[in-house]
Chain A
């Protein structure tokens, strides 16, 4: 399978199964519309006749030979022979956990997927006993894995920071005896970040995600307090304190959501950059299409254009010798994860679970509150292995749209929860997410290809 596209004046050609990325001329681009394996010794006569109206015949033949040569080298039209690895991660250990320390929040963001913090289950905080059991559960289920990830999530985790600190202390106390290394992360809205919290986060958290949508008017339209007022002024101040003290050895991102109200979201990315936040993630809202802020199919052309505009703005910053990192354009074309990892994305329900304040276990935070996806409980010791195995078998070869998609080794089947929420089936691709993902990937591949081409020349 190949995928080709034109972007920023370049013709990009991706060989899906080898991961090969090529920059080609117009002749190659046109020729690839007309030829595919099995190849003849020379360019087929009908193809030559058609293309030699536009290009010199000797160039067409030469180009045909180049295509055949790359095919013989197995970096063009290479075979998809990964399906045999698809069951490799069934029965894998659990290595990551989303710990819902707070089903409460001090904001009432209008697009919140978690029903403004309580996941529709009432506002509550996790007690330390439950958090401790969660850490024990993760240690027990992670046989053979050294690095364990725990993400303190909510709601707003800082509303239960005492439990966060105690949980980190407890997990660290078990690292040596169990031969584990915990990597903690958290997401915060920045409303209640004391200096002590900032120091703790910067010392203990491997990554921290700071929620802010961008420009003041954009942020304050959706991210509001209980009294309806915006939070921009307070959180920008708090996030700057955190980032200024964090240093360069640990990850962090400011993370925003764009909606139908700010389809010019490249302006928000630039605003965040101008504030001094150069590690940036901005994502599309996923919402019921009936919501006024929801992104719909009709918005896609505008969104696609905006990603191209964003790429131009980022290229300009980098051309000036400055640093900016947009999370969704990050791509490693040579040293990324292995093909086996790419067959299934997040590992939710299989390698990754979420635990609620009540000690209930779900495949991930997005499934919390969906009774049919409650996998078990830390309090009665139940854990649904059948459901775990079902998630393990949700990979790109059991998802019909993914199996035939050029982007499958980059998004790895997307978000199972999104598939369930919008398509009612974890294996049915959520088309809107896919379309945005594919556009972002094309832009990311183009940017990386242009960078590598420049380095090579």
Chain B
């Protein structure tokens, strides 16, 4: 495309279908424990 460059897989929808296993790390959002955006975490589901 000339005007728009898509730079990632945009796959959030697909993750919903297979997601929700809950194996991933808890992600405290509080500043005092180094809050992290949830999006920086890894999916831990075994393939």
A→B interface (CB under 8 Å): 13, 15, 17-25, 27-28, 59, 62-63, 66-67, 69-70, 74-75, 78, 81-82, 85, 88-89, 92-93, 95-96, 98, 113-114, 145-147, 149, 151, 153, 183, 187, 209, 253, 255, 257, 281, 283-286, 327-328, 330-342, 345-348, 351-352, 364-366, 409-418, 433, 437, 440-441, 444, 449, 452-453, 456
Contacts and interface: CB of A to CB of B under 8 A. Distances in A.
Given A63-B3, A338-B15, A348 B10 contact: no
Contact of B43 (A145, A337, A351): A337
A335 B42 contact: yes
For the residues of B in contact with A, the DSSP-based class is loop
Contacts of A456: 5, 7
B39 A409 contact: yes
11 contacts: A25-B4, A27-B3, A85-B16, A92-B22, A147-B23, A334-B8, A337-B43, A340-B16, A346-B26, A411-B38, A418-B29
Contacts of B38: 336-337, 341-342, 345, 410-412
Nearest to B9: A334
Nearest to B26: A96
Interface string B6-43: 11111111011011111111111111111111111111
B8 A337 contact: no
A134 B8 CA distance: 42
Looking at chain A's contact residues, is the secondary structure mostly helix, strand, loop, or mixed?
mixed
A283 B26 CA distance: 19
A93 B23 CA distance: 11
B25 A149 contact: yes
A356 to B, nearest CB: 16
B2 A366 contact: no
A38 B4 CA distance: 20
A24 B4 contact: yes
Nearest to B25: A149
Contacts of B31: 257, 283-286, 415, 418, 433
Given A85-B20, A286-B31, A341-B43, 18 more contacts: A21-B8, A22-B7, A23-B5, A24-B5, A149-B25, A283-B34, A338-B15, A338-B19, A340-B19, A342-B12, A346-B30, A348-B28, A351-B26, A364-B30, A365-B33, A409-B12, A417-B30, A418-B30
Contacts of B21: 338
Interface of B: 1-13, 15-16, 18-45
B28 A70 contact: no
B6 A75 contact: yes
A44 to B, nearest CB: 17
From A17, A62, A333, name the one whose CB has the most chain B CB atoms within 10 angstroms: A333
Contact of B33 (A18, A151, A332): A151
Contact of A336 (B13, B18, B41): B41
A284 B30 CA distance: 11
A346 B27 contact: yes
Given A18-B10, A328-B36, A411 B29 contact: yes
Q: Which of B11, B39, B41 has the most CB of A within 10 A?
A: B39
Contact of B20 (A89, A147, A253): A89
Given A15-B10, A70-B6, A339 B29 contact: no
Contacts of A409: 12, 39
10 A-B pairs closest in CB distance: A338-B19, A20-B10, A19-B12, A96-B26, A340-B20, A330-B40, A338-B15, A339-B16, A333-B8, A415-B29
Contacts of B36: 327-328, 330
Nearest to B34: A281
B35 to A, nearest CB: 6
B35 A95 contact: no
A150 B22 CA distance: 16
A341 B24 contact: yes
Contact of B12 (A18, A364, A453): A18
Nearest to B2: A62
A20 B8 contact: yes
Contacts of A327: 34, 36, 40
Contacts of A347: 26-27
A393 B24 CA distance: 19
B3 A331 contact: no
Contact of A89 (B11, B22, B42): B22
